[in-house]
Structure 1
Amino acid sequence: MIKIKNAYQNDNILNTSVLTAEQKEILDLMVKYEEVYSYEHFSQFKFEMDLRTEIVKASSALYQSGVKFTTFEYSKCNPVFWDLTSQGAIVIKPGVPPSVALMDVYNNGSLYAFECATAMVAVFYRAVLEMIEESYFNRLFDGMILYDWHYDDDLGVFTRRGNDYLPGDCLYFKNPDFDPEKPQWRGENTIDLGYDLYYGHGIGIKDSEGIITSLNKYRKQGAVRSAYLLSQVTRLDYRYLYPYKRSDREETGAYPLADGTITATRLGDVFYLKA
């Protein structure tokens, strides 16, 4: 359910003309779920819609960037912008603007390698960079670190239990009987891309069945339990980020996204996204 200015809304009341097809899917899900999504005004609602769109687009961009999947032990980065610690943490160099260092991950992906949780944080950062003023981004995320689920508090990441999955959420597929010799496959952090498609760094873009099938290949001998989608969602705090929005994103909600349309093409059991 959606509540704006303390009034419940539905898809017939809301101005959906400014929503993309993907955002209308999110709207339909919000209306259907029992969870109440509250907003102070329509512009705040549209900001979240656009932020979710940017998360999906950032997932596609990271998938196509050439960044490799690896464990912390073998993490790597571009030494021009980042330092690498012995624990595998990628730490921004002093004096480097976070926006510049982050975009190098996407533009020179072959120089980088990290695990799946780090990828989720990188996706969230990229989406926020597209949504707020660059000067605010560089101030808020000064001292950026890319390492597991370590992130700046200003990113506003939170996790709660629930099954109200929405495109742009980070969801976790758990593999309870994982092979102890390959602990990196105890589960997979993914971004919900909509239409039952998910991006997982190391697995790629697949539907839920494909993610589960991939994880089940890394179970211990004699395993009887299948991997499954955990009942929890990880999201960004749009309310906190909204005041920092870019000035070229109008209050009317008609935000100038480069292209809200994302197409998915399936070749065998592999999905390819094009924004």
Structure 2
Amino acid sequence: MELRAAIVSAAEALAGSGLRFEDFDKAACNEQLWHLTKEGGFRIREDAAPANGIRDIFSNGWRYATECATATVIAVYRGVLATMREPDFNSLFSGLLLYDWHTDSDLRLTVRQDAKESFPGDLLYFANPDFDPDDAIWRGENVVKISDNLYYGHPFGIVPGETIVAGLNRHRRPGSSVSAYLKDDVVYPDYAYLSQFAAVGDPRRIFARIGSRRYVW
């Protein structure tokens, strides 16, 4: 699927963008394009196009700092932009806010419980149930699935799941033996809905539903 592949490509690009890792209280953005909110989110300026704001994160990543949830959402928006007509992107996501899981309703994010049946481009979560309360930014890691047992997570980069688990385990409560683990939650946008805004129409596209999921080829 085109959008799935675009989200994977966006995650790979974000891993090499220079985006810095910080909690919300130390977040940073290019304020020529974004307003930094008091909560640590990025809201697109009224005189800036959302598409340009998203692209800037990838070309000037060093100007930006955020945590893992916002980073994964940025990858999704960049994937959508790569597959959507730009005027539609700017219209659908006007007033765009990048902050944790506060996503635009037009992404129509869906949550399903079955991480064993996940696909490249899906968003997953590694939980760290016994995280050190003095280091709460490591309570878990939001990731984009790249391929089998390969994930993009900020700030880990593109690594196997075992690397993320080991990294989270280093930030557990002192003396804890409770390991981090991959949760069953699988999050993905509404591919069928977003396909109507595709940059290049293709009459050969096939729409199908398998179980609770919709697909576009």
Counterpart position of 2:94? 142
Cα distance in 2 for partners of 1:85, 1:245 equals 31
Cα deviation, 1:129-185, whole Å, max 9, x if unaligned, reads: 011100100000000011111111001112121131111100100011111101110
Using structure 2 for the length normalisation, give the TM-score.
0.91
Q: Which residue of 2 aligns with 1:189?
A: 142
1:100 partner SS: helix
Shift of 1:88: 0.6
**What are the equivalent positions in structure 2 for 1:79-118 lying under 5 Å apart?**
79-118=31-70
Q: % of aligned pairs identical?
A: 44
Match of 1:172 in 2: 125
Which entry has the higher C-alpha Rg, 1 or 2? 1
| Structure 2 Cα separation of the partners of residues 208 and 65 of structure 1 | 21
Runs of at least 5 residues in structure 2 that lack an aligned partner in the other structure? 206-217
1:128 partnered with 2:80? yes
Q: 2:165 aligned with 1:212, yes or no?
A: yes
Q: Within 5 A, what are the aligned runs for 1:40-51?
A: 49-51=1-3
1:82: Cα distance to partner? 0.6
Q: 1:223-238, aligned counterparts within 5 Å?
A: 223-238=176-191
Cα displacement string for residues 202-238 of structure 1 (whole angstroms, at most 9, x for unaligned residues): 1221101111111111111111210000011010101
What value does the CA root-mean-square deviation take over the aligned residues?
Answer: 1.3
SS of alignment partner, residue 226 of structure 1: coil
**Matched residue of 2:133: which SS?**
coil
Measure, in 2, the Cα distance between the counterparts of 1:99 and 1:217: 37
Q: Distance in 1 between matches of 2:158 and 2:42?
A: 25
In the alignment, structure 1 segments of 5+ residues that lack a partner are: 1-48, 254-275
Alignment TM-score, normalising by the size of structure 1? 0.73
3-state SS, counterpart of residue 182 of structure 1 = helix
Which deviations, in whole Å up to 9, do the C-alpha atoms of 1:49-94 show, x marking residues without a partner? 1111111100011111101010000000001101112211111110
Secondary structure of the corresponding residue to residue 58 of structure 2:
helix
